[in-house]
Amino acid sequence: MKATFLLLACVVLLGLSSGGQADELKKHFYKKLCPQAEDMVQDLVWASVKNNSALPAKLLRLFFHDCFVRGCDASVLLDSTANISAEKDAIPNRSLAGFEVIDQVKAALEKACPGRVSCADIVALAARDSVSFQFQKPLWEVKTGRRDGNVSLASEALADIPSPGANFTRLVQQFASKNLDVEDLVVLSGAHTIGVGHNPSLNATHAA
Ligand code: HEM
Ligand SMILES: *[C@@H]1O[C@H](CO)[C@@H](O)[C@H](O)[C@H]1NC(C)=O
Ligand SMILES: *[C@@H]1O[C@H](CO)[C@@H](O)[C@H](O)[C@H]1NC(C)=O
Ligand SMILES: *[C@@H]1O[C@H](CO)[C@@H](O)[C@H](O)[C@H]1NC(C)=O
Ligand SMILES: *[C@@H]1O[C@H](CO)[C@@H](O)[C@H](O)[C@H]1NC(C)=O
Ligand SMILES: *[C@@H]1O[C@H](CO)[C@@H](O)[C@H](O)[C@H]1NC(C)=O
Ligand SMILES: CC(=O)N[C@H]1CO[C@H](CO)[C@@H](O)[C@@H]1O
């Protein structure tokens, strides 16, 4: 298994049993491990968003694409290797962005508290903090304690991320497979009130 999956500077070495998610997410998981973690994420994310108002939508979508494949485990951040095509390289990754913000926050946190704060929590906090900045109010609570995964497969992203052509039945099925109901589907789809979309299918219609 070694050398099969390239980790993007994101292994978190807590004294916890390292398998998968921590038992339960909680408020302020890092209170003792790295007390400044959540403030640092907020400060750095806000500085980035001030400079680039397109980022909140990018970071929100990145979080969604992370969570829909193998849970919220930062698997979306992993790069492909010679023989493994990672989630990033799946078709629905088109126009995913904001990776550099996550990398920058992770680098700062590694300096402050080496090996403590998971990339998965940074992705979750960055989504919340960036969108909250855009709306100038705190929007939702983020519990922490996610552990980073080390498996990232393009084939799974292709299977799990809903396609823009999916019908309602299919969307309901795909959300149900992640333990989300129809109300969740409707509410979360509200995320599309921010951001930029592309419609590549229009081009196909007009192709010569
Ligand atoms: C219900 C199934 C969903 C489908 C089929 C879908 C599909 C898409 C597509 C096709 C785009 C345009 C991508 C592009 O720019 O090329 C997009 C953008 C976006 N999606 Fe979704 N999405 C879904 C659910 C979600 C959820 C649950 C969230 C977050 C809670 C989300 C957040 C976003 C955001 C913020 C953008 C704009 C990104 C930007 O500005 O670059 N989407 N989505
Ligand atoms: C991936 O994580 C699992 C569970 O924590 C671990 O057993 C395995 O050795 C890891 N694989 C690599 C390539 O790091
Ligand atoms: C601000 O954004 C520009 C382009 O989007 C980028 O080149 C520059 O490095 C950013 N500055 C900071 C401080 O992030
Ligand atoms: C991927 O390549 C590495 C080294 O090139 C090799 O050790 C590994 O067995 C390969 N894995 C798979 C699943 O083919
Ligand atoms: C919805 O999509 C599914 C899977 O893609 C397909 O099997 C089904 O026939 C579609 N239903 C309708 C009503 O188009
Ligand atoms: C679609 O067409 C527009 C305008 O001609 C072009 O700028 C864009 O790159 C095309 N997109 C794709 C995916 O081909
Ligand atoms: C953001 C990102 O990682 N995009 C990649 C998506 O996948 C294509 C190949 O299918 C890569 O070329 C992009 O770099």
With tokens 């980022």, the residue in question is 55
Which DSSP symbol is given to 170? H
Q: How far apart are CA 85 and CA 199, in angstroms?
A: 25
**What CATH number does domain 2-196 carry, 1.10.10.60, 3.40.30.10, 1.10.520.10, 3.40.50.12280?**
1.10.520.10
Any catalytic annotation for residue 28?
A: no
Phi, psi of 42 (to 5 degrees): -60, -45
pLDDT band at 2 (very low <50, low <70, confident <90, very high): very low
Q: Whose CA is nearest to atom 5 of ligand 7?
A: 89
For 207, the token pair is 């192709």
What percentage of the chain's residues is helix, strand, coil (to nearest 5)?
50, 0, 50
The band of 185, judged by pLDDT with boundaries at 50, 70 and 90, is: very high
The amino acid that residue 3 corresponds to is A
Q: Residue 92: pLDDT band by 50, 70, 90 thresholds?
A: confident
Helix, strand, or coil (residue 106): helix
Which ligand places an atom closest to the C-alpha of 85?
Answer: 7
Burial 20-57 (b: 16+ CB within 10 A, else e): ebbeeeeeebbeebbeebbebbbebbeebbeeeeebbb
Q: Active site residue: 28, 65, 198, 206, which one?
A: 65
Per the listing, tokens 């193998």 go with 70
d(CA 66, ligand 7 centre) in Å: 15
Q: Residues annotated as binding site for substrate?
A: 162
Q: Is it the case that residue 204 has pLDDT exceeding 90?
A: no
How far is 39 from 28, CA to CA, in rounded Å?
A: 11
- How far away, in angstroms, is 52 Cα from ligand 3 center? 7
The reported pLDDT for the residue numbered 46 is 98
| Proportion of the chain above pLDDT 90, given as a percent | 78
* Structure confidence at residue 76 as a pLDDT band (50, 70, 90): very high
- Ligand found nearest the CA of 201: 6
Residue nearest to atom 8 of ligand 3 (CA): 51
pTM of the model: 0.84
- Check whether 199 has a pLDDT greater than 80: no
Could you tell me the distance, in angstroms and rounded to a whole number, from the CA of residue 90 to the centre of ligand 1? Answer: 15
3-33 tens-digit pLDDT = 222 233 333 222 233 334 556 899 999 999 9
Ligand 5, CB within 6 Å, residue ranges? 167, 169-170
